[in-house]
C-alpha cells in the first residue's frame, strides 16, 4: 500500500492540468501560449523551450511525450490549441511581421525578455518546490554562465552551410533540441550557419522542401529525447529545474549584448539612440505586464485544479 500511494499522488499532480474544467477561455489561453512558443522557435535570441517553461506547458508536454500511452486522448485534447498556436506563431513571424521584426528585432526581443522577467519569481518557486540545496545553486550558476558564453562567443562564428533536405532535417532537430533544452536558441545557431534567412524565406513561401524536413527533424528530436528528459525530471527534479532556470537567466542576459545592443540592430531601427532605448524599454515593460496578466490567469486555473484535487 505504501509504495503505491506516492505513485498515485504523483500521477494526480502530473495530471492536474487535465482535470480542470475546459472552457473557451482556457482553450484560448493555451492557443496564445502556443503562438508565443511558435514565435520563440524562430525568433533570434529566444528559445521556444524557455517560453514553454514560463507559460507552464513545458513540464506537462515533456511528461506526455515521454509516456504517450498515459491518458493519450486527454493530453491530445489539451495540447491541440498549443500545437495550432505554435504553427500560427511560426507562420505569423515568417509572413506577417517579418519586416517589422527585421527592423525592430531588438525591441521585439525585449518584449519576450519582459515575459521572462515577469515570470521569474514563479520559476524560482517552482524550481524549489522539492527543496533547494547548495549543489542546485551551483548547477544554476554553471548552466547560466555556460549558455551565456556560448551565445556571446558563438556570434563570432561565420559559416555558410549550403541548404539541402538533410541540412533542413538537422536544422529541425536543432529546433527540437531547443524545445527539450530551454535556454538554447536554435535560431542563433542557424544564423551562425548562414541558414536562418533561407529558412525564414522557405517558411514564408510555404516551400515544402524546407518546411517538411524541418518539421520531421523537430518531431524526431523531441520524441527521441523527451523520455530522457521525463526520467530526469522524475529522478532529479530540483537539479533539472535549477539547470533550466540557469539556462533561462544566462540566455536572457546574453541577448542584450548579442541582439539588443548590437550596433547593427541600433542602426537598422533608424530611430536614434535615445528613441531606440526608449522603445526597447517600453517593450520590456509591456512584456513584464503581459506575463503578469498571464500569471493571473494561470493562478485562476491553478486554483480550480487545486479545488478539484482536494475533493
d(CA 146, CA 152): 10
List per-residue pLDDT tens for the chain, 311 residues long.
344 334 444 454 566 666 666 777 788 888 988 888 887 777 665 667 777 877 778 888 888 887 777 788 888 888 999 989 988 887 777 766 556 556 777 787 788 788 777 777 777 877 888 888 999 999 999 999 998 888 777 656 656 778 899 999 999 888 887 777 766 667 767 766 778 778 877 887 788 898 899 989 988 888 888 888 778 877 888 888 898 888 878 877 887 887 778 777 777 777 888 888 898 899 889 888 877 776 665 555 555 545 544 55
Residue 157, phi-psi category: left (phi > 0), alpha (psi -120 to 50), beta (remainder): beta
pLDDT at 101: 59
pLDDT at 3: 40
CA 74 to mean position of chain CA atoms: 23
Domain that holds residue 208: 4-309
d(CA 88, CA 14): 27
Tally the residues of the chain.
Answer: 311
pLDDT at 45: 57
Domains contained in the chain, number: 1
pTM for this structure? 0.62
pLDDT at 179: 77
Q: At CA 139, angle to CA 52 and CA 134, rounded to 5?
A: 120
d(CA 256, CA 146): 16
Q: At CA 142, angle to CA 139 and CA 145, rounded to 5?
A: 145
Residue 130, phi-psi category: left (phi > 0), alpha (psi -120 to 50), beta (remainder): alpha
Closest listed residue to residue 104, CA positions, set 303, 275, 298, 285: 275
d(CA 107, CA 280): 4
pLDDT at 282: 93
C-alpha cell at 80: 491541440
CB 55, CB 116: distance < 8 Å: no
pLDDT at 265: 76
d(CA 31, CA 57): 11
d(CA 301, CA 22): 10
pLDDT at 7: 46
d(CA 241, CA 244): 5
pLDDT at 25: 79
pLDDT at 169: 94
How far, in Å, are 81, 280, 296 from residue 304 at the CA level?
20, 36, 13
Q: Which residues, 6+ apart, have CB-to-CB distance to 247 below 8 Å?
A: 47, 50, 143, 144, 147, 181, 182, 183, 184
pLDDT at 9: 46
| Euclidean distance between the first and the last CA atom of the chain, given in angstroms as a whole number | 21
H-type helices in the chain, by residue range? 4-14, 16-19, 24-42, 48-54, 58-66, 72-91, 98-127, 134-154, 165-180, 186-192, 196-204, 208-235, 237-255, 263-269, 273-309
Amino acid at each position: 500500500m505504501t509504495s503505491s500511494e506516492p505513485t498515485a499522488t504523483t500521477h494526480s499532480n502530473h495530471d492536474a492540468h487535465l482535470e480542470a474544467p475546459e472552457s473557451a477561455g482556457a482553450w484560448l489561453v493555451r492557443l496564445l501560449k502556443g503562438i508565443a512558443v511558435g514565435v520563440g522557435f524562430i525568433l533570434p535570441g529566444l528559445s521556444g523551450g524557455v517560453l514553454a517553461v514560463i507559460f507552464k506547458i513545458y513540464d506537462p508536454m515533456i511528461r506526455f511525450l515521454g509516456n504517450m500511452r498515459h491518458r493519450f486522448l486527454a493530453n491530445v485534447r489539451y495540447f491541440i490549441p498549443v500545437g495550432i498556436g505554435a504553427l500560427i506563431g511560426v507562420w505569423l513571424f515568417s509572413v506577417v511581421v517579418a519586416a517589422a521584426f527585421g527592423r525592430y528585432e531588438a525591441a521585439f526581443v525585449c518584449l519576450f525578455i519582459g515575459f521572462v522577467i515577469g515570470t521569474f519569481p514563479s520559476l524560482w518557486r517552482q524550481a524549489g518546490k522539492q527543496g533547494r540545496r547548495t549543489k542546485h545553486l551551483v548547477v544554476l550558476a554553471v548552466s547560466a554562465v555556460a549558455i551565456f558564453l556560448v551565445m556571446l562567443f558563438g556570434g563570432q562564428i561565420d559559416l555558410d552551410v549550403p541548404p539541402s533536405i538533410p541540412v533542413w532535417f538537422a536544422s529541425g532537430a536543432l529546433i527540437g533540441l531547443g524545445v527539450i533544452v530551454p535556454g538554447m536558441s536554435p535560431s542563433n545557431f542557424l544564423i551562425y550557419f548562414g541558414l536562418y534567412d533561407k529558412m525564414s524565406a522557405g517558411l514564408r513561401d510555404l516551400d515544402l522542401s524546407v518546411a517538411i524536413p524541418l518539421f520531421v527533424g523537430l518531431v524526431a528530436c523531441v520524441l527521441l529525447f523527451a523520455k530522457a528528459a521525463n526520467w530526469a525530471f522524475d529522478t532529479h527534479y530540483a537539479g533539472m529545474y535549477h539547470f533550466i532556470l540557469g539556462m533561462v537567466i544566462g540566455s536572457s542576459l546574453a541577448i542584450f549584448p548579442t541582439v539588443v545592443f548590437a550596433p547593427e540592430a541600433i542602426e537598422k531601427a533608424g530611430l536614434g539612440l535615445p528613441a531606440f532605448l526608449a522603445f526597447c524599454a517600453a517593450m520590456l515593460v509591456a512584456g513584464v505586464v503581459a506575463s503578469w496578466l498571464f500569471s493571473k490567469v494561470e493562478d485562476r486555473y491553478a486554483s480550480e485544479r487545486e479545488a478539484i484535487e482536494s475533493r
